[in-house]
Amino acid sequence: MAKNRKDVWFTATEPDPLLRIVRPPASSPAVPPPPTPPVTRRLQLYACACAHMVWDLLPTAAHSAITIRERYADGRATEADLRASSLLWRSSGINAQSYALAAARGATGYRWTDTLEAPTNWDESSAAREAAKALAASAAGPAPLRGRATEWHATYNAAFAAARAHQAELVRDIFPPPGYAPGLRAEWRTSTVEAIARQMDATGDFSAVPILADALQDAGCDDETMLDRCRAPFGVHCRGNWVVDLVLGRV
């Protein structure tokens, strides 16, 4: 029996099935309609969260471009800012750094060509796949010319699968579960709850999301879906976390 959307949402160990739920594919060969602005924003933040997975493999200029794409998603930067942050980055070869740059390209949306009129199309699926390949290549090292091939493939595949599982959690962190309508009662929005959410939003450090759950519970929140998201067992939280957005009035 095929799993329903809710089953898929909570059990998928890679992001593509979840992305198909939040952005269903076209039912015909025709070009699908663009996602709604809220979904577009969340997909952009998901792409950037995937690029953050390979942050240490990227140059400073890429960091700036990713940060500006995040700001753009939240209406804090302009198209001109995006273009000003773009560089003619080039990569070659099959290695962790090249994959990381490809992930950044998918997140920021600029094709790195020799023209300032480069398109600004971004691709969340590409950002995710390339980031996973970068982490796998970094874990496994250069592919052996001979010998140790089985060990190398096992290391690569394990790291790739772990990265994809992490990305599935990122989708669940940014998008509420299907069929769930998040809501925040006025009495739950205490000054402490708001302060924690605003601090994370300002700093980009979302490690305090479990503390937000404690503050919500202290305020009387009994929404298990909301609290469980904040206390996700893998501790995966990022910009766009839907509970933080709810507190900040973005959902």
pLDDT tens string 92-133: 667 999 999 989 989 988 544 444 454 557 889 999 999 999
pLDDT band at 5 (very low <50, low <70, confident <90, very high): confident
Domain residue spans of the chain: 12-21+35-174, 186-247
Least confident segment among 26-30, 189-193, 247-251: 26-30
Q: Are 105 and 129 in contact (CB under 8 A)?
A: no
Strands of 68-190 (E only): list them: none
Give the distance from CA 248 to its chain's centroid. 19
Q: Are 209 and 143 in contact (CB under 8 A)?
A: no
| pLDDT at 242 (0 to 100) | 97
H helix or E strand, kind and range, residue 136: helix 124-140
Does the pLDDT at position 1 exceed 70?
no
Averaged pLDDT, 140-167: 90
Enter the pTM of the model. 0.91
Q: In this predicted model, what pLDDT tens digit does every residue of 200-251 receive, in sequence order?
A: 999 999 999 999 999 999 999 999 999 999 999 888 999 999 999 999 998 6
Q: In this predicted model, what pLDDT tens digit does every residue of 56-79 receive, in sequence order?
A: 999 998 999 999 999 999 999 988
Give the distance from CA 172 to its chain's centroid. 9
Backbone φ and ψ for 187, nearest 5 degrees, come out as: -70, -15
Residues 6+ apart with CB under 8 A from 45: 70, 73, 174, 238, 239, 240
